[in-house]
Amino acid sequence: MERRARSRRHLRVVSSTDTEETASVSSASVRYGDLADRRLASILAAEDTAERYGLTPYARSTCPVHRCWLHQCIAEPVHVSAATGHRWCPECESPVEVDIDEAGMGSVRLHCSRCGLLPDTTANREVLLACRTSLSAMHAGRRAKLYEVPDE
C-alpha cells in the first residue's frame, strides 16, 4: 500500500540572512510601532508574517484592520462573511451578534437576533475559538492575583 505525502504548509524561522523576508518582518514592526501595547504589536506583526507563510486569517487572535485584539472588534460589520459563514446565520441568512464578557469569565457567545438561534457552524466555531484565544492572549501578560500575603 502506497502512502501519499500530505501537502501541508509549514512555518519556518526567518533568519537575518533572508533579505526579502526580513524586509517584510521589519515593515510589519514599523506598521505597528505606534501601538502602546507592545505585546499586541509584536503578536500583530508575528501573525502578519505567519499569514504570509500559510496561517489562515481565521486563526488569528489579532485584527490587522483595526489593529487590536480580535475580540475587541469582532462585532464590526467588516468581520461578517456570508460567503464563508463567519458571523453568519444560515437559517435566516443574516449577520450574527457577538456578546463578549471581558470582565467576568471571558465568555464569548454568538446568537442570531433575527431568529434567536445559536448558529452552530464550523465557521462560527472558528469565530468563537479566535475570540477566546484573543481574550486569553490579551490577559496573558497580566498575572492573576489569587491571594495576598499579609505583611507581618
Q: How large is the angle between the packed helices 19-31 and 38-52, nearest 10 degrees? A: 140
* First and final C-alpha spacing in the chain: 72
Q: For the chain, how many residues are written?
A: 152
> Quick one: pLDDT at residue 87?
96
Q: How many CB atoms lie within 10 A of CB 14?
A: 15
Q: How confident is the model at residue 35 (pLDDT cuts 50, 70, 90)?
A: very high
Q: What is the pLDDT of residues 44-94, one digit of tens each?
A: 999 999 999 999 999 999 999 999 999 999 999 999 999 999 999 999 999
Q: How far is CA 36 from CA 24, 40, 50, in A?
A: 21, 9, 22
Asked if pLDDT for residue 151 goes beyond 70, the answer is: no
> Quick one: pLDDT at residue 25?
52
